[in-house]
């Protein structure tokens, strides 16, 4: 009699345990280590997608504000060097309509550089830091023209040279510099940078100085290739 009573108790306890397991089995699966690891693996891709969408919205707004004859949205495949980049490779090429000498603009409307070579699927841009880059610019406040040049001396990073300003120039520290549009390489009125200092040349009848480019403050994951 006692054994029969014990068997009934054990059977009843097993039934209760089975019901509890069935009701909470889904929760066990949700918080299983395997699912957590999958979520961690997927999360970076979601973050990257959100960032790309934000960049795309900024670039599309820039496209709507300005008129260009050709506009191509491109993502950066590689940036070198990372600190003060002089070269960027984008994921768009000739099959997307990219051509050499197209200007490259950031999401905030700042000049990054220009396209120097194109393959079928990619394009290479040299930035304002590259020593081969020269940009005709204007100081909007004073109307004075100058040339912004890339640098080869790392001691000047993160700045660029601005040269051939008038000897008695009215431009001063803090003035913004933008493209002049006097050459075919760069459309007019694209933001380039801010003047840090201006000094007279002892050997030339011109003034020169340093500027800090706007694009260096941005995380370059995408850009507009325009002309």
pLDDT in tens, 9-60: 565 566 666 555 555 544 434 344 444 444 444 444 555 544 555 555 555 5
The string over 130-141, giving b where at least 16 C-beta atoms fall within 10 Å of a residue's C-beta and e elsewhere, is: beebbbbbbbee
74 burial (CB, 10 Å; 0-12 / 13-18 / 19+) is buried
pLDDT in tens, 173-209: 999 999 999 988 899 999 999 999 998 866 778 899 9
Q: What's the CA gap between 171 and 138, in Å, rounded?
A: 10
Q: Which residues contact 96 (CB under 8 A, 6 or more apart)?
A: 72, 74
The answer to whether 190 and 177 are in contact (CB under 8 A) is no
Closest CA to 88 of 107, 112, 70: 112
pTM (predicted TM-score): 0.71
The CATH T-level fold of domain 70-227 is: Thrombin, subunit H (2.40.10)
User: Which H or E run contains 21?
Assistant: helix 2-30
């Amino acid at each position: 009699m006692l054994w029969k009573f014990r068997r009934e108790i054990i059977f009843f306890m097993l039934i209760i345990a089975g019901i509890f397991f069935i009701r909470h089995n889904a929760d066990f699966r949700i918080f299983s280590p395997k699912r957590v690891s999958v979520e961690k693996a997927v999360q970076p891709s979601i973050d990257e997608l959100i960032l790309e969408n934000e960049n795309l919205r900024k670039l599309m707004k820039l496209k709507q504000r300005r008129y260009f004859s050709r506009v191509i949205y491109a993502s950066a495949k590689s940036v070198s060097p990372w600190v003060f980049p002089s070269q960027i490779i984008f994921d768009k090429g000739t099959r997307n309509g990219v051509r050499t000498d197209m200007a490259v603009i950031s999401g905030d409307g700042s000049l990054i550089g220009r396209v120097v070579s194109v393959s079928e699927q990619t394009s290479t841009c040299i930035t304002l830091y590259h020593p081969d880059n020269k940009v005709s610019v204007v100081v909007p406040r004073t109307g004075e023209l100058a040339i912004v040049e890339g640098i080869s001396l790392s001691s000047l990073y993160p700045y660029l040279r601005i040269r051939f300003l008038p000897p008695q120039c009215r431009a001063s520290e803090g003035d913004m510099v933008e493209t002049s549009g006097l050459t075919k390489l760069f459309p007019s009125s694209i933001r380039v940078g801010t003047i840090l200092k201006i000094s007279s040349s002892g050997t030339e009848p011109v003034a020169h100085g340093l500027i800090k480019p706007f694009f260096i403050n941005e995380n370059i994951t995408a850009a507009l290739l325009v002309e």
